[in-house]
Amino acid sequence: MEVLRIKQLRINNQIRSREVMVVGADGAQLGVMSVDEAIGHAVEAEMDVVEVSPNSNPPVCKIMDYGKFKYRQNKKAHDAKKKQKIIKIKEVKTTPGTEEHDYQFKLSHAKRFLADGDKVKVAVFFRGREITHTELGLRLLKRFEEDLKDYGLLEQEARQEGRNLHVIFAPKPIVEVKKSKPKDEENADGVVSTTENSQTEGAV
């Protein structure tokens, strides 16, 4: 957006007003003058007249090196874009009959993902006739919610899609939490990673 705004600035002979308020390269007020007179000042300084506030009466122009100005603004926009964090959704899969050690394994991954600033989708998959006991899945998701309360916030309540129930947790803002790395590897069975960029992509 910053780059587009720069392109819309009028400079030198593109300025349409007869008179403009001119600010010198050093920030000093040079007063109201014709555009031709302002351009004369700019030529002496080997710079440009740039219309920085077209809606003022009269419009405000500044004497500057427009090429360097545009370069700095483009670089600033580029650096800001590089610093933008890509939001990821890490998915943790489990079943309603998961055993305690397996639950703790999945829980440790969820904690680490949230501590890293990623969102976490906890999904409970029902196999066969397990689908008739969705209350077991809800109970398990409630347990995740309780055990993750110091690491993240429930962003999406339990939702059923086909043969699974899932919730989504978002990392807590500002509050720092201790990161813990489980001994098991991150991409062990039941833990997959997806990326969210504006919209959530499907699980791998």
Q: What are the counts of helices (DSSP H) followed by strands (DSSP E) for the chain?
A: 5, 10
Indicate the DSSP class of residue 198: S
| Confidence (pTM) | 0.48
3-state secondary structure of 33: strand
**Using an 8 Å Cβ cutoff, are 177 and 115 in contact?**
yes
Residue ranges matching CATH 3.10.20.80 in the chain? 2-83
Q: Tell me which architecture the domain covering 2-83 has in CATH.
A: Roll (3.10)
| CA 141 – CA 56 distance, rounded (Å) | 58
Residue-by-residue pLDDT tens, the chain, 204 positions? 333 344 578 989 999 998 999 999 998 999 999 999 999 999 999 999 999 999 899 999 999 999 898 888 888 888 877 777 677 899 999 999 889 999 999 999 999 999 988 999 999 999 888 888 899 999 999 999 999 999 999 999 999 988 999 999 999 875 445 555 554 444 444 555 454 443 444 343
Give residue 175's pLDDT.
Answer: 46
The boundaries of every CATH 3.30.110.10 domain in the chain are 88-196
Q: What is the pLDDT of residue 141?
A: 95
The superfamily in CATH containing domain 88-196 is Translation initiation factor 3 (IF-3), C-terminal domain (3.30.110.10)
Please tell me the predicted confidence (pLDDT) of residue 184. 47
Phi and psi based region of residue 129 (left: phi greater than 0; alpha: psi -120 to 50; beta: remaining): alpha
**135/48 Cα distance (integer angstroms):** 71
pLDDT of residue 86: 72
Q: Are 106 and 136 in contact (CB under 8 A)?
A: no
Query: Read out DSSP for 5-72?
Result: HHHT--BGGG---SEEEEE-TTS-EEEEEEHHHHHHHHHHTT-EEEEEETTSSSPEEEEE-HHHHHHH
pLDDT at 195: 45
Distance between CA 119 and CA 122 in Å, rounded? 10
